[in-house]
Amino acid sequence: MADSSSSGMTRRALIGAFAATTLTAAPTFSKAAGFLRGGGDIRRIRMYSGRTGERLDMIYWIDGDYIKDAVKEVNHFMRDWRTDQVKSMDLRTIDIMAASHNLMDVSEPYMLLSGYRSPQTNAMLRRRSRGVAKNSLHMKGQAADLRLSSRSVGQIARAAVSCRAGGVGRYSRSNFVHMDCGVVRSWGG
């Protein structure tokens, strides 16, 4: 295979091409870990950010192995957009997000409202709202706040809860679901 400089093919383009040809042939539920029913042999995450205008459609795991460059892009995408700080996201959170998305059988990408939050951003948000935890898992790269226009908060939360792998918060008034890889629990309405 020619290198990317002579062929014009980047690793990301190669992964995208591979994704386009293998997703239809890949078994969806075989070999999935018990708590990640729906994760499948290929794990893909689709998101966009209304804050930055960025979009991400990334296969980040194939047959038991995380793709280092793909995970790096996911981490950058989920950065604190206010400070531009990047933190390695806990892969369990990404897995929960991907499995929940698969269980809902949607092609629409998640809208990412919040991934990693720096301590400064978390403190600022706490001053504005009582609903922000002082020791938020967002600051550890272990949580995400997500929305889908084609699914209700209840539908998204039920999919995440069925993974039995972390915390799921329903925020119906604000139209988003919190997913994290902490202790299994749920809250909100």
Write out pLDDT tens, residues 87-141: 999 999 999 999 999 999 999 999 999 999 999 999 999 899 888 888 999 999 9
- The CATH number covering residue 176 comes to 3.30.1380.10
In the three-class reduction of DSSP (H, G, I as helix; E, B as strand; rest coil), residue 116 is classed as: coil
Predicted confidence (pLDDT) at residue 3 exceeds the cutoff of 70: no
| pLDDT of the residue at 12 | 52
On whether residue 167 sits in a domain, the answer given is yes
| pLDDT of the residue at 88 | 97
Q: Which residue has the higher pLDDT, 47 or 36?
A: 47
On whether residue 36 sits in a domain, the answer given is yes
- Compute how many other C-beta atoms are within 10 angstroms of the C-beta atom of residue 108: 13
On whether residue 135 sits in a domain, the answer given is yes
Q: How far apart are CA 25 and CA 13, in angstroms?
A: 19
On whether residue 165 sits in a domain, the answer given is yes
Q: In Å, how far from its chain's centre is CA 119?
A: 20
On whether residue 89 sits in a domain, the answer given is yes
| pLDDT of the residue at 189 | 81
| pLDDT of the residue at 129 | 85
| pLDDT of the residue at 132 | 87
Predicted confidence (pLDDT) at residue 4 exceeds the cutoff of 50: no
DSSP 113: E
* pTM (predicted TM-score): 0.78
On whether residue 131 sits in a domain, the answer given is yes
Residue span of the structural domain in which 162 resides: 11-19+27-188
pLDDT digits (tens, 9 = 90+) for 140-156: 999 999 999 999 999 99
On whether residue 107 sits in a domain, the answer given is yes
| pLDDT of the residue at 63 | 87
Nearest to 36 by CA among 99, 109, 118, 130: 99
pLDDT digits (tens, 9 = 90+) for 43-72: 999 999 989 999 999 999 998 999 999 999
Q: How many domains does the chain have?
A: 1
Contact 102, 28 (CB under 8 A): yes
On whether residue 126 sits in a domain, the answer given is yes
